[in-house]
Amino acid sequence: MTERRIKRIFENSPDDIGAILLYNGSEPHQDVNFFYVTGLAKGLFENSAAVIYPDGSGIIITSKLEEESARKSRLDMETFSTKREFRDAMKKALDVDGRIGINFEDIPHTSYRKFKYIAKGRKFTDVSEPLEKTRMIKDREEIERIKKAGKIAAEGLKAMAGSLCEGMAEYEAAAILIYEMMKRGATGPAFETISSFGENSAEPHYTSGGRKLRRGDFALFDFGARYDRYNSDITRTFIMGKADRKQREIYEIVREAQEAGIDAIREGVSGPDVDAVAREIIEKAGYGDMFIHSLGHGLGLKVHDGGGLSPRMKMELKENMVLTVEPGIYIPGFGGVRIEDDILVRKNGAEILTEFPKEMMEL
């Protein structure tokens, strides 16, 4: 699998690249592409590098702290104990004909300068776009990991929803949700959990605070599970108690828009066209100005993993892309509704990877 991934990266890269260097620094300067090409699901691998070649081969250069974890990769490995040993190993690995590709998006300038010094006389070029383009099409192993992450998230939400009650704070609900996902095998949350009650649900990127749940509130949760480095991303909006007319109205509009967007997905259609299908439903209902983000984004090793469903992003959908579909309506001072699922693009439709009821739930 790693050999095929590496070859696909070079197929999407300029012909004169002799090697690609992927450096995984310390938090927050980590590069998911390191894990993509090595296939490693466990371990930190701080200050480690992978150098890959057009024939599908590669070498991991890592400290002895990660030696046992690195053995789980199919790539060759060399360990180091000192900075000199690291420099010598890198110099040897980068001794190739042609330019050296590097991911400018995820490498600090200080690290870039260090590698320029190590590989004196070599020309470096940015390969961030070929890397992103390659990762947008998921292979079988990636799809299985995302499916597992989606299953964990859905089961965690079901368990958490059963414990929601009046007087619970947003951060308490978020903590329970994360616990329930971890209990089911998540290696962690995919991102900072959004847990918002009442008027706070009108803030799309609100996280969680001390607002307590009251009868009549919206309760919106946008969250995901991480499983073997792959992420899920799901949103559901509940009502605490009985919904009023306006709450029911906007919920059903968002649900209709989301289902129409998913139905429009198949290989060959454009991202803006899918966005337009869902957006038109919300606009015709009179809430167009309150749907203030794109319909969805790519998903994988990153929560925003390249590509998306947006009027500003011209992208043709291809089989085995994984995307979110998440329309929303946000009314300041009143509250908001968002419904989000992860979908897998198939030739003739979409496969939903986050199975959880979409009917409005009054708790």
- Closest C-alpha among 253, 261, 252 to residue 284: 253
CA distances from 6 to 20, 142, 204 (A): 10, 15, 37
Which CATH fold topology does 140-352 show?
Creatine Amidinohydrolase (3.90.230)
Taking the C-alpha atoms of residue 161 and residue 157, their distance in angstroms, rounded to an integer, is 6
Instruction: Indicate if the alpha-carbon torsion angle 63, 186, 52, 109 is positive or negative.
Output: negative
CATH topology of domain 2-135: Creatine Amidinohydrolase; Chain A, domain 1 (3.40.350)
Q: Which residues on adjacent β-strands are paired with residue 22? A: 50
Determine the pLDDT at residue 29.
Answer: 85
DSSP structural state of residue 54: T
The residues with which 340 forms a beta bridge, in sequence order, are 235
Edge to edge, what strands does the sheet with 194-197 contain?
A: 194-197, 218-223, 234-239
Stretch (H or E) spanning 261 = helix 245-263
Helix (H, G, I), strand (E, B) or coil at 55: coil
- For 108-160, how does the pLDDT look when each residue is reduced to its tens digit (9 = 90+)? 999 999 999 999 889 999 999 999 999 999 999 999 999 999 999 999 999 99
Which distant-in-sequence residues (6+ apart) come within 8 Å of 76 by Cβ? 57, 58, 59, 60
pTM (predicted TM-score): 0.95
Tokens of 353: 């990877």
pLDDT by 10-residue block (mean), the chain, 363 residues: 94 96 90 97 94 97 93 95 95 95 94 93 95 97 98 98 96 98 97 97 94 97 98 98 97 98 98 98 98 98 95 95 98 98 97 95 92
Handedness of CA 287, 290, 295, 296 (dihedral sign): negative
Q: How many CA atoms lie within 13 A of 316 on its CB side?
A: 4
Structure tokens at 342: 């992860």
pLDDT 10s digits, 297-348: 999 999 999 999 999 999 999 999 999 999 999 999 999 999 999 999 999 9
What's the rounded Cα separation, in Å, for the pair 300 and 132?
A: 11
Q: Note whether 328 and 254 are within 8 A (CB).
A: yes
The phi and psi torsions of 62 (rounded to 5 degrees) equal -140, 165
Please state at what angle helix 170-183 crosses helix 140-161, rounded to 10 degrees: 130
Q: Do domains 2-135 and 140-352 have the same CATH topology?
A: no
Q: How far apart are CA 329 and CA 338, in angstroms?
A: 7
Instruction: For residue 102, give the H/E element and its range.
Output: strand 99-102
Q: How far is CA 267 from CA 181, 317, 333, 348, in A?
A: 32, 5, 40, 7
CA 290/CA 282 separation, integer angstroms: 9
What is the domain partition of the chain in residue ranges? 2-135, 140-352
